[in-house]
Amino acid sequence: MDSKFDFRQLESKLYQKWEKSGAFSPKIDKKKKPFCIIMPPPNAYDKLHIGHALFVTLEDIMVRYHRLLGEPTLWLPGADHAATASQIFFEQKLRGEGRSRHDLGRDKFNAELMTWMLEQRETMEGQLKVLGASCDWTRKKFTLDEDVSRAVVYTFKRMYEEGLIYRGKRVINWSPKSQTGLSDLEVIYQEVEGELTLIKYPLKGGGEIVVATTRPETMLGDTAVAVNPKDKRYKEMVGKTVILPLMNREIPVVADDYVDMKFGTGAVKVTPAHDPNDFEIGQRHNLEQIEVIGKDARITEAGGKYAGMKVTEARESVAEDLDKLGLLVERKKFVHSVPHSERTKEPVEQLLSEQWFVKVGPLAKPAIEAVKRGKIKMLPKRFEKIYFNWMENIRDWNISRQLWWGHRIPVYYLADDKSKYTVAFDAKVAEQELGGKVVQEEDTLDTWFSSGLWPFTTLGWPEKSQDFEYFYPTTVMETGHEIIFFWVARMIMLGLYCTGEIPFELVYFNGIVRDKENQKISRSKGNVIDPIEMVDKYGADALRMGLMMGTAAGQDTHVDEDKIRAHRNFANKIWNAARFISMQDASPQAIDKVDLTKEDKAFIKEFNGIVKQVTKEMNKYAIAQAGDTLYQYFWHQFCDVVIENSKPALYGDDDRQKSSAVATLNYILKNSLVMLHPFVPFVTEAVWQELYEGDLIVASWPK
């Protein structure tokens, strides 16, 4: 063996050897239960960040462990078209070239974006290989692959025909920058210091009612004032009429249980076209919907003299005019949650818009039951409570996106009568059904719709493919806890609906990667760690150990360059220990063929206890715990105690003691390499290739 482990020379060669050998591609064996993970697909256009490196490490450890157990093990890789983010990013690229998507037209824009994205995808997949991801590249998928896209249309059509997808006009989240609707899950609420404005609304016939609002400009579209029916202060006012200030429009006072008596004055203005809760109040009381904010975040013609103003300008102008009329009671500082676009970071507008929705109530019930009955387990278990809370209060899902990139909604309208439409696989079928020329819906589907189908479309569904029949339901879905609603809940709902089966047995939630100061790693904070750069400096094994050690399911992990550098020393320790053992004179024999000394028997008994402990930890998905057990044993017990105590026998003249020591050291080393392999695959395989026959990646886990 060379004097040191040269990871720069060996890692890429070993990966190519594994891939070429077919070790990543499982053979279907109906007599064995498979182990299957469908990779959460990284965005195809983006290079991998440290969060990706964490999930790759965790999933690869699971996969390599189950492969060593002899189970048919599939880790299916993929990439996501990431509709909103990709279109925003590519449009920025075009602007830098002095072009726009409108210059290209829809078809050419999508063709250029696809070409560029596939190039980026190759880079991303190369980075996954650098990290040691032992996934089956022969089965890789992309969310815009033809078969996946067909499965998306198939699902949409079925859901539409069964009344689970409908077109309706409701209040949605609107991104003025992206000019598209957003689902509730693409909106993040940020604490913002604003103002709570108290306004007098004169009652017709005398008197007044004071309402509190953080957005006085929306009063231009008010169609009622609401109070709680149990609020004695306003009991006599219910059913009366107020004169809406500035607009001089008569609007009713209504009683509704939604109103919080403790907020503000206990009376709230109702703007059904610009607030989802007000929309629901409006539905219950048959209120008019007046749209006073447009998609450009400016006041519409319905806003009278304020038309054309930006929302923020109108807010000040309305407050000033109310003050002049003596109707402004007070403006006081008020910290409140304001919805922002998760992607563009801007405040979103809530607008009335006709969109396509999924009726999620019927889908949520079986998804809740699957977790309650333990068919799907979540690790850590505390996330089940969060899941139930959200699922039991779920709202219909807006799946329309006003984008060009992505799965175009498979709805076709009769060209000369848009009131007639059908859902079809293509225009030709639609024309036969409608009896005339058709045009397709302009909107695309929310990316999370196709992602919700990912665990089974990747395996060939809706065809009863061999892979689908054998590997589905999958075993583990490993992902970040921040997308429990974005993705996990939707996979469970759609999995049960589409296949009648759960999509996976266990959800393993990883945490967020933080620096040593406990700050979330992000570009804005300037504390980014480039995983590929770390591999170039210290090797993939060092990065993997640095990410995995000291973490647990659902907990954030702390990583910095010093921690990664320290774990390079562990890879060197493994190499040096193996090199020392390989240099001994005696030929190693199986321990059951050797007359072992009492001391060596004790070492083997202790090691067998480690085998039992690590196996138990791995079966419980206590991955970091198993890694730490192995790390502590190999470095501080095997190297510092077993090897050191064996040296007198190795250098002495007693043949029995020497053969006992050599057999013991080789027994522990060989089995340690197998158990360490999921964690540090490159150095362990490199040692194995030097000392033993075959490939470590397909060896057998010690009993």
The residue among 444, 418, 622 whose CA lies nearest residue 86 is 444
Q: In this structure, are residues 384 and 306 in contact, taking their beta carbons and an 8 Å threshold?
A: no
Confidence of residue 524 (pLDDT cuts 50, 70, 90): low
Looking at residues 247-276, what average pLDDT do you find?
94
Confidence of residue 523 (pLDDT cuts 50, 70, 90): low
CATH assignment of the domain containing 614: 1.10.730.10
Looking at residue 41, what DSSP letter applies? P
Computed over every residue of the chain, the mean pLDDT equals 94
Q: In this structure, are residues 498 and 453 in contact, taking their beta carbons and an 8 Å threshold?
A: yes
Taking CA atoms, 454 is separated from 27, 75, 182, 491, 612, in Å, by 22, 13, 21, 7, 36
Between strands 400-401 and 474-480, the pairing is: unpaired
In this predicted structure, the answer to whether residue 383 has a pLDDT above a threshold of 90 is yes
Confidence of residue 47 (pLDDT cuts 50, 70, 90): confident
Phi first, then psi: give them for residue 677, nearest 5 degrees: -55, -45
pLDDT computed for residue 360 by the predictor: 95
Instruction: For residue 687, tell me if it sits in a domain.
Output: yes
Instruction: For residue 638, tell me if it sits in a domain.
Output: yes
Instruction: For residue 457, tell me if it sits in a domain.
Output: no
From 301, 334, 350, the end of a domain falls on 350
Looking at residues 283-289, what average pLDDT do you find?
96
- In angstroms, rounded to a whole number, what is the distance separating the alpha carbons of residues 530 and 31? 43
Range of the domain at 345: 181-350
Instruction: For residue 84, tell me if it sits in a domain.
Output: no
In this predicted structure, the answer to whether residue 247 has a pLDDT above a threshold of 70 is yes
- Residue 10 three-state SS: helix
pLDDT computed for residue 182 by the predictor: 84
Looking at residues 169-176, what average pLDDT do you find?
91
pLDDT computed for residue 553 by the predictor: 84
In this predicted structure, the answer to whether residue 35 has a pLDDT above a threshold of 80 is yes
From 350, 372, 398, the end of a domain falls on 350
Taking CA atoms, 703 is separated from 382, 607, 615, 637, in Å, by 33, 11, 9, 20
Looking at residues 383-391, what average pLDDT do you find?
94
Looking at residues 482-497, what average pLDDT do you find?
93
pLDDT computed for residue 269 by the predictor: 96
- In angstroms, rounded to a whole number, what is the distance separating the alpha carbons of residues 616 and 427? 56
Least confident of 78-82, 95-99, 353-357, 515-519: 515-519
Phi first, then psi: give them for residue 621, nearest 5 degrees: 60, 25
Instruction: For residue 462, tell me if it sits in a domain.
Output: no
Separation of CA 541 from chain center: 25
- For residue 427, which amino acid is it? A
Residue pLDDT, tens place only, 301-346: 999 999 999 999 999 999 999 999 999 999 999 888 888 988 788 9
Least confident of 22-31, 562-571, 598-607: 562-571
- In angstroms, rounded to a whole number, what is the distance separating the alpha carbons of residues 332 and 311? 19
In this predicted structure, the answer to whether residue 625 has a pLDDT above a threshold of 80 is yes
Least confident of 80-94, 569-583, 657-671: 80-94
Least confident of 266-275, 333-342, 409-418, 568-577: 333-342
CATH assignment of the domain containing 300: 3.90.740.10
In this predicted structure, the answer to whether residue 558 has a pLDDT above a threshold of 70 is yes
Confidence of residue 554 (pLDDT cuts 50, 70, 90): confident
85 vs 231, which has greater pLDDT? 231
The answer for residues whose C-beta is within 8 angstroms of residue 97's C-beta and 6 or more apart is none
Between strands 444-445 and 513-514, the pairing is: unpaired
Q: In this structure, are residues 225 and 211 in contact, taking their beta carbons and an 8 Å threshold?
A: yes
CB-based burial, 625-657: b 16+ in 10 Å, e otherwise: bbbbbbbebbeebbbeebbeebeebbeeeeeeb
pLDDT computed for residue 181 by the predictor: 87
Instruction: For residue 9, tell me if it sits in a domain.
Output: no
CB-based burial, 123-161: b 16+ in 10 Å, e otherwise: ebbebbbbbbbbbbeebbbbbbbeebbebbbbbbbebbe
Confidence of residue 375 (pLDDT cuts 50, 70, 90): very high
Instruction: For residue 68, tell me if it sits in a domain.
Output: no
238 vs 523, which has greater pLDDT? 238
Instruction: For residue 218, tell me if it sits in a domain.
Output: yes
In this predicted structure, the answer to whether residue 585 has a pLDDT above a threshold of 80 is no
- What domain count does the chain have? 2
Q: In this structure, are residues 527 and 519 in contact, taking their beta carbons and an 8 Å threshold?
A: yes
Looking at residues 473-489, what average pLDDT do you find?
92
Residue pLDDT, tens place only, 118-142: 999 999 999 999 999 999 999 999 9
Burial of 560 by CB count in 10 Å (0-12 exposed, 13-18 middle, 19+ buried)?
middle
In the chain, % of residues over pLDDT 90: 83
Between strands 224-227 and 249-255, the pairing is: parallel
From 350, 385, 406, the end of a domain falls on 350
Least confident of 106-120, 360-374, 516-530, 605-619: 516-530
In this predicted structure, the answer to whether residue 257 has a pLDDT above a threshold of 80 is yes
Looking at residues 290-300, what average pLDDT do you find?
96
pLDDT computed for residue 522 by the predictor: 66
Residue pLDDT, tens place only, 97-126: 999 999 999 999 999 999 999 999 999 999
How many Å from the N-terminal Cα to the C-terminal Cα in the chain? 28
- In angstroms, rounded to a whole number, what is the distance separating the alpha carbons of residues 114 and 97? 17
- In angstroms, rounded to a whole number, what is the distance separating the alpha carbons of residues 323 and 329? 8
Residue pLDDT, tens place only, 197-241: 999 999 998 999 999 999 999 999 999 999 999 999 999 999 999
Query: What is the chain's length?
Result: 703
530 vs 674, which has greater pLDDT? 674
- In angstroms, rounded to a whole number, what is the distance separating the alpha carbons of residues 226 and 221? 14
- For residue 2, which amino acid is it? D
Q: In this structure, are residues 408 and 418 in contact, taking their beta carbons and an 8 Å threshold?
A: no
- For residue 483, which amino acid is it? I
